[in-house]
Amino acid sequence: MPVVTAVTCPVCGSLCDDIELTIENNEVVKVKNGCAICESKFLGYKSEHRTKTPLIRKDGEFVPVSIDEAIHRAAEILADANYPILYGWSSTNCEAQRVGIELAEEVGGVLDNTSVVCHGPSILSVQEVGIPTCTLGQIRHRADLIIYWGCDPWSAHPRHLERYTSFTQGKFEESAWKEYLQKVKAAAERRK
């Protein structure tokens, strides 16, 4: 079975680029180095719960239709809209986002993503006062203290701590996890 290496996970902002996918019969059958969210996205595309046939509303009910009919109906809806908002995009790849931007420009609409729901207040404050920023690499190599405020990295970005903060070895900062393990090992040796 072929294994595709150095795959970048598109799910969260950690952009883990060490994902390995095992392919069998042109399908992903195994994910290595990915968190639970990554695995569910790469393996879940063939889920029995996934809608695989286009649906449109007819007489108040969703009914299956052909791709051509679904595209035609979507085009009608967009063409008839006064101010369309194309919403979503959070786990969409760059190529699809590029097409979405072109579509929004073509129909005179705007693009919006799900960050307005969870990051709306943060974005408003950034617009008012600005924001100090840094790259994930700078965090990994230089930060000696990281405070997570108003977020849950374990749930939203499961590998962030492993790749960029506590569990990683930086150029200028030692890994807190390695230091902790060394203390545990030393304590265990003293007990012997």
- Count Cβ atoms below 10 Å from residue 12 Cβ, excluding itself: 19
* Residue range 94-151, pLDDT digits in tens: 899 999 999 999 999 998 887 777 777 877 888 899 888 888 888 888 888 888 887 8
Q: Do the beta carbons of residue 43 and residue 167 sit within 8 Å?
A: no
Within the chain, residue ranges assigned H as helices are 36-44, 67-80, 94-107, 115-118, 120-129, 136-142, 153-156, 160-164, 176-191
- Say what percent of the chain tops pLDDT 70: 96
DSSP 99-116: HHHHHHHHHT-EEEETHH
pLDDT at 140: 81
* Residue range 10-24, pLDDT digits in tens: 888 788 999 999 999
d(CA 94, CA 115): 16
Is residue 50 helix, strand or coil?
Answer: coil
